[in-house]
Amino acid sequence: MSRISDAFGRARQEGRAAFIAYLTAGDPSPEATVGLARALESSGADVLELGVPFSDPIADGPVLQRSASRALEAGVTLTSVFALARRIRKETRLALVLFSYVNPLHRMGIDRAAAGARAAGFDGVLLTDVPPEESHALVPALRRAELDTIFLVSPTSPRERMREAARLSTGFLYVVSRRGTTGARAELPADLATTVRRARRVAAGLPLAIGFGISTPASAAKAAHLADGVVVGSALVAAAEAAGSGREAAVARLARRLSKACRRKG
């Protein structure tokens, strides 16, 4: 089993949802990213999605767009993301997911990128702009590299697309909570439970993780009762952005509250 499967299994045994955190690699610097990864682990994170900065992040809201811009301005590339992952792998036990648009992997070459991700210590790959029906050239290369492949489903996904996304996913199936881009929201959508039920029907026991819009302990607690994992990105990145040099402490404080909220009370 991969570190990702282990993380979900450990969370299940402890009566909680796995806490999956997101950081943009290299924002505002590689050193800061490593420090934030350590802070997240010490505050209860199980899995870290490490985002590859991209110049046209169509699925991202303003917080992650700014984060990607800062990282690109700092010169972060896919190669430097791999270097960062090696450091995080040495300094933490977090399961690592390479979170990217497909273009940076294509530019490097899919086989080379997959091998590089595995050698860097990544456990899985999530490509935000590759639907299941367009993944035939990608999944075999990732599987050969022994990487979990993680696909997204959303409230608008037809049943057959959900079924195919689940079939191609290992590690977990990512349930997008709402229509639109990433970003903190005050409330989870009213139809989220319906979306999760639809995903459960096709997941065949594969863990489900909910992301997009989860920003507070209250919304994390609601998601934790619906799914096996809770993904938080924009809220953590925004906390780091606002805190400046105090970013590690600020992210740790929020992460501790989110991690506690992932514990189910019955």
Which residues are known to be catalytic?
Answer: 49, 60
Could you tell me the strand order of the sheet in which 208-211 lies? 148-150, 124-127, 95-100, 47-51, 18-24, 229-232, 208-211, 173-176, 152-153
Tokens representing 52?
């590859």
∠ CA 158-9-51, nearest 5°, is 60
Backbone phi and psi for residue 153, each to the nearest 5 degrees, phi listed first: -130, 155
**Structural element, H or E, at residue 49:** strand 47-51
User: Rounded to whole angstroms, how far apart are CA atoms 15 and 100?
Assistant: 30
**For the chain, the helix, strand and coil percentages under 3-state DSSP, each to the nearest 5:** 50, 15, 35
